[in-house]
Structure formats: structure tokens, C-alpha cells
Amino acid sequence: MIDILKKTLFVGLGATVITAEKLRAKLDELVARGKISASEAQEMTGKIMDEGRKEFEQSGQKIADMLDEMMRKANFARQKDLEALAAKVEKLEAAVAQRESKSE
């Protein structure tokens, strides 16, 4: 399941890179035709890339949220759950050891 998610993210990242290359090529073509200036093309590229980056980050967060929800529903223990449980066990062991030392 994790492999599928990794592959999905990498495909999305690859698509983003290809799209960025196509975008630059199209804007360069418009500059060559004199439809827009080089500075306008650069500004547009920056805006579109920023927007794409934001969308990619939001998608990553949505996937992380979905994974958290799936893990919660599947009732898998997460690292923080295991750490909390280990802390409780340590506390109980210390209490038992203390009682045993008092009774001797």
C-alpha cells in the first residue's frame, strides 16, 4: 500500500516536471512570436509554478490526512501510540519494583 502511494506521488511529481517544461516551451514560443515579452513570460512561469507547488503540497497533505484516517480506522498502532504505551509500561514496572522492594 505504501509503495502504491509512493508511486502515485512520484507520478504526480513527474507530471509536474513535464508540465513545467511544456509551459516554458509554450511561453518561449509566445515570446518568439512577439505575443508577450520575456519578462511577462518569466513572471507567468513564476506564478504558475508557485501555484503548482502549492497544489502539490496541498495534495501531499490530503494524502497524509487520508493515510492517518485509514490507519485510525484499521486500528493500527502508530509510533506515538507505541511510545505512550511504552511509557505506561515503564511507569507500572517502576511501581511494581517499588512495592516489591518495600515488601522485602
Averages of pLDDT over each 10 residues, the chain, 104 residues: 61 63 81 86 82 78 82 80 95 94 81
CA distance 80 to 83: 5
- Residue 95 pLDDT: 94
pTM beyond 0.85: the answer is no
Domain map (residue ranges) of the chain: 2-76
- The pLDDT value given to residue 96: 95
pLDDT at 70: 81
**Cβ atoms within 10 A of the Cβ of 52, count?**
15
